[in-house]
Chain A
Amino acid sequence: MVPILSILLLTLLGGTVLTFASGKQARWVALGTSIVFLFETFYLLDAYTAWPGRAGLYAVPQYSFSESYAWISLPWLHINYTVGVDGISLILILLTAFLQIATVVYCWTETNRPAAWFGLVLLTCLGSIGVFIALDILLFFLFWEATLIPMFFMIGYWGGPKRRYAALKFFVYTHVASIVMLVALLAVAFYAHAASFDFADIFVATHSPGFPIVTQALLFLALFFGFGVKFPIVPFHTWLPDAHVEAPTGGSVLLAGLLLKLGGYGLIRWAVEVLPQGLAHTSWIVYAVAFASIVWGSVLSLSQRDLKRMVAYSSINHMGIVLLAIAVYSSLGLLAAVLLMFAHGVVSGLLFMASGSVHHSFGTRDIASLHGITPKAPVLATMIMVGSLASLGLPALISFPAEFAALLATWDRLGYWVVVPLLILVVTAGFYLWMMQRVLFGPPQNVPEKAHDLDVYETAGMAILVALIILYGVLPGFLVNVIVNSPVYGFP
């Protein structure tokens, strides 16, 4: 059997190294790597016909394309290189592949140390892929940390005026969370007397009857914090708007599109699947945090003046819905969570690209000083419109099926509490529409002479995402059928 997942990693690893080394031609190497990687992902999706299934709710989930090699073997410690995927990881790998290629195309004209820039883009994707396929605690953690470093440099070197502050804040915040997460994961392994750091061994250990509920609940909360900062959850969210405002456009796309998803994925795979009892006994805390994030993110978006800050706060809102869908702990909810992560990745990627282009073309992202950009930049205006409408959950665009499933799952578990996220949908529509009214429409004012529409690379990068938004909005079955072919289906 072909070790396809390792090949996937090696493709990106090789591509990254080559990109770093190839000077001015870096973008071609990066593009080539992205295309190869995308086709490998398609192959993976095609080969992933069905999830092998699982005997019952408490039986160990099986993962496809799995590989396992002993790495560190001490009498008291067994660390393996274990990788494998299910429908959830596959969807997120697909998201990574699409975002990577769109980002490379969008940033095509980057002139400030292009080799380093494209290398870091690929490195971020490499780390994310690693996180999505790793089935060993240490391996998972290494990849997890590996995503921080390129993002740190992207913000810190290519970022805006306050980039150093933002980069450090991003790093310290997520680093602290990483340490808590790691310690909690190790504690899970040791307290549950897992035979190794492998996911399967940990799963068996935590599902054995002897593992005390209180321990599970406490460990779950620690993991919830560790993964939650990445979501980000209120009140640990303030790093996100700052990071986005200072990050370069490509960095924002990857940060919102991919890095936030690591939190969601980690929570599902390493907290909920491993410690379902822990979630069951602390769910009210998770619900409270989810509702707080949903409300806070949306309400704050309304008063943001910076386009990017607005999109950043709307990310907090959307990831809050993801968290809610995870917290309801049902097949439907998990399906919705994964679908919404994919949707948010694509949509926020588009919106951050558009914000970056607004800044590039009109010299500012300040909503209050932008007026009527449509006549000068009709294509850009269309992109903003598609992104906004998708983000506010218009049917036939990608977020709608995800939000529909998420809210239905919430109704199923929490009844009329679903009114809270439902009414917040109106606020979300409100801030997007109000932004469009001010930025896109009305008589043009303060439009600089040199303002221009998108160039061909910007257009192409965004067009990829727009195509996905419409394609998967009209035909969400492609994604859904992959996700339900996964242990999600074994959930209550």
Chain B
Amino acid sequence: MGAFDTLFQWAFLVPLFPLVGFVIVGFFGDRMKKAEYGGWVAVVLSGLAMFVGILIAIGEALSPGTYTDASYTWLNLPGTQSVFSNGFSLVMGTLVDPISALMLVVVNVVGFLVMLYSIAYMHHDQGLPRYYAELSLFLVAMNGLVLSDNLLEFFLFWELVGVCSYFLIGFYYEKPSAASAAKEAFLVTRVGDVLFLLGIFLYFATYATSGGGAGWAASGFKFTNGNTPFLGSLVGSASSPTLTIAGLMMLAGAAGKSAQFPLDVWLPDAMEGPTTVSALIHAATMVAAGVYLLVVVSLFLGFTADDRLAIVAVGGFTTIWAASMALVNTDIKRVVAYSTISQLGYMVLAVGAGFAMVGLYHLFTHAFFKALLFLAAGSVIHAVGTQDLLKMGGLRKSMRVTWIAFFVGAMSLSGIPPFAGFWSKDDVLASVYSQVGAHPLYWPFLLCAFATVFLTAYYIFRAWFLAFDGDGSRDASLPHAHEAPWAMRLPLIVLSGLALVAGLFAFVPSFANLLPGAGVPPTYGTTDLMLSATSVGLGFGGLGLAYLMWGNGRVFTLPADSPLQPFRTVLLRRYYVKDAYDWFGLKAVYGLSRAADFVDQYVIDGTVRGIERAFSQLSDAGRRLQTGVVSDYAAYVVSGLVGLLVFLLWIAPWLVRSVGGG
């Protein structure tokens, strides 16, 4: 019993408040006198959720522990001969522990700020009630996911956040590109999801039969048993091909949700949704769910060494893969989106190297500075009505707050001290470095991560210079920009503050309890300082290069005949991966379907029709039967029945008796 158990048992309120918001706004939002009223209802309810979430986090910080409340037996499944011999129940409940408390803070603080920001940002949009209903539903699902106490419940909410993301990417559903992006996001993550489901089967089956697992199955596959992981004794020690595959399936699920290579294509396209949605779902929370899954699995179920290498490889490679595509993009939102993929790669890398808490640390700081970058970008888009960086320019004069906010976000993203991103990114690099001695195969991926620091600073400051520097818009047709209204400025200011100090929270004694275990806060020995110096140097290098190429002075530009230009095309075409996927979906699978349809109609059904034709040509009676008069068919039906009855009552028994001797 922890000191705050009475508080923790109210954790269900966190998803419940937005659920109330969803019901009110979803069903009655259209009938309210003004569309904003529904919005305000949702804002207030998400504020309440944030309040409870923060209280829970404070409780966990003061007295860390695990509180579970297993309340509802969702499915009571019968046993089978093979694996689940005794049958098992799937029980849905809430799990409050330090990491879920941390996530509650992230989700609900960003959620509330985005909801508030949206009041102004979405002001002119049709379908405001729909927007707030879907956003509230997302918060329900995301909070449910964070509070899940078993893998299946986790999966359930995981799919629900996915479908909310689908709705919100396609919010402007009359735009073909938005409808297409929504579908793409759902489908690509779906690939990860079905593999995730397979992974769940594998864990269930493996642990349900092995030594300490029987109790686990009986518990409904809960993550924890009291204060310890249920499979505590098995984590790390168990190793079998099945477990390795199960871990890889978790990685596949995480890669889909967190847009890791090769399932990363959907996230840049998801920028078709409103910018607020990008900030909340596609930067701070939902895409981080994949990382959170890896954290949860590594804490409670355990990865094998091979899994870890695969995770490190995917994360490390994704950092540079996505960052490279951000180098040339001219859409302000897409640049930030690529940076999200890249930063998620850092988190995955850390979790893979065995430092789940370090990954979570970066998740925490990233949520704030990335939401800040998106909301600042949204403020810019709101003001100038375009997302094209090449058309903007000179906004620093008219949009002071946004200008500074974007700067804070960019510094934080680039990992420049003392901004939040520095502490966590530095910790990621240092932790992975500490493992390369034991695992030399981690080296190339660590180098990717280091190189990405340079690229990151370059592309984000390129965007900053392009948008805010210069004498004025490069495209004269853009409207005269004005600073955003207070409902947008306030979240920017709050998030700027968080992007400054969030990294330091880990050094506050109580708060550090939310990130228990290895590597947080960083220790800063000599090696660490050297690594920090390197990464900060790389960051400043990127910043400097961006200044030279895109800043006021424009010291140099890439000549049009530079040998680097072909790479530019490749990067803009996103390495042709999306083209390949489109080809696979539209040409290969759809083509196969068309071919199968032909076979179905002309071979399978054709055979049937051929038989039918043969019959009707064989006998005139057959043709006369098809008179097309319904009463004739009725007579046919009835006579068939009578015939059957005759057969049944007299002929069949006789037949059977004479054949079978009955």
Could you list which residues of chain A lie within 8 angstroms of chain B, going by C-beta atoms? 72, 76-77, 138, 141, 145, 148-149, 152-153, 156-157, 164, 167-168, 171-172, 175, 179, 182-183, 186-187, 190-191, 193, 234-235, 237-238, 296, 299-304, 330-333, 335, 372, 374-375, 389, 394-396, 400-401, 404-405, 407-409, 411-413, 418-419, 422-423, 425-427, 429-430, 433-434, 436-437, 440-444, 475-477, 480-481, 484, 488-489, 491-492
Contacts and interface: CB of A to CB of B under 8 A. Distances in A.
B163 A480 contact: no
Interface in B76-92: 76-84, 87
A412 B82 contact: yes
Contacts of A138: 648
Nearest to A76: B653
Contacts of B640: 175
B197 A407 contact: yes
A411 B174 contact: no
B626 to A, nearest CB: 7
B467 to A, nearest CB: 30
B309 interface: no
A485 B496 CA distance: 59
B76 A156 contact: no
A441 B170 contact: yes
B205 interface: yes
Contacts of B79: 331-332
Given A175-B640, A303-B593, A433-B187, A418 B201 contact: yes
Contacts of A434: 183
B597 A418 contact: no
A152 B593 contact: no
A351 B197 CA distance: 26
B658 to A, nearest CB: 11
Interface stretch (B7-15, B152-160, B274-282, B425-433): B152-160
9 tightest A-B CB contacts, nearest first: A441-B179, A331-B78, A492-B81, A190-B656, A303-B593, A238-B605, A302-B593, A395-B156, A330-B80
Contacts of A296: 596, 600
B660 A190 contact: yes
Nearest to A430: B187
Contacts of A235: 604
Given A330-B81, A335-B77, A430-B187, A441 B173 contact: yes
A408 B626 CA distance: 48
8 contacts: A300-B597, A303-B594, A330-B81, A332-B80, A394-B163, A422-B198, A480-B77, A492-B80
Contact of B84 (A182, A299, A412, A423): A412
Given A299-B592, A303-B594, A441-B170, A408 B201 contact: yes
Given A395-B157, A443-B174, 10 more contacts: A153-B634, A238-B604, A331-B79, A395-B159, A407-B197, A423-B194, A441-B173, A442-B175, A444-B174, A477-B75
A187 to B, nearest CB: 7
Contact of A481 (B76, B157, B596, B600): B76
A289 B87 CA distance: 28
A412 B633 contact: no
B159 A299 contact: no
Given A394-B159, A396-B160, A407-B201, A157 B648 contact: no
Interface of B: 73-84, 87, 152, 155-157, 159-160, 163, 170, 173-176, 178-180, 182-183, 186-187, 190-191, 194-195, 197-198, 201, 204-205, 585, 589-590, 592-594, 596-597, 600, 604-605, 608, 612, 626, 628, 630, 633-634, 637, 640-641, 644, 648-649, 652-653, 656-657, 660, 662
B597 A430 contact: no
Given A332-B84, A426-B190, A303 B590 contact: yes
A304 B195 CA distance: 27
Contacts of B590: 302-303
A193 B662 contact: yes
Contacts of B82: 330, 412-413
B76 to A, nearest CB: 6
B76 A484 contact: yes
A318 B518 CA distance: 47
A361 to B, nearest CB: 18
Nearest to A183: B652
A489 to B, nearest CB: 6
A400 B159 CA distance: 11
Which of B73, B78, B652 has the largest number of chain A CB atoms within 10 A? B78
Contacts of A148: 637
A303 B652 contact: no
A489 B78 contact: yes
Given A300-B600, A477-B76, A168 B83 contact: no
B156 A396 contact: yes
B78 A411 contact: no
B420 to A, nearest CB: 34
Given A395-B156, A395-B160, A422-B197, A477 B73 contact: yes
Contact of B596 (A303, A372, A405): A303
B183 A437 contact: yes
B596 A411 contact: no
Contacts of B180: 437
Contacts of B204: 408
B194 A426 contact: yes
B64 to A, nearest CB: 31
A425 B194 contact: yes
A425 B190 contact: yes
Nearest to B659: A190
Contacts of A167: 633
A443 B176 contact: yes
Contact of B173 (A191, A304, A442, A477): A442
A441 B174 contact: yes
A149 B78 contact: no
Nearest to B79: A331
A296 B640 CA distance: 33
Contacts of B634: 153
Contacts of A237: 604
Contact of A168 (B633, B648, B656, B657): B633
A191 B652 CA distance: 12
A164 B660 contact: no
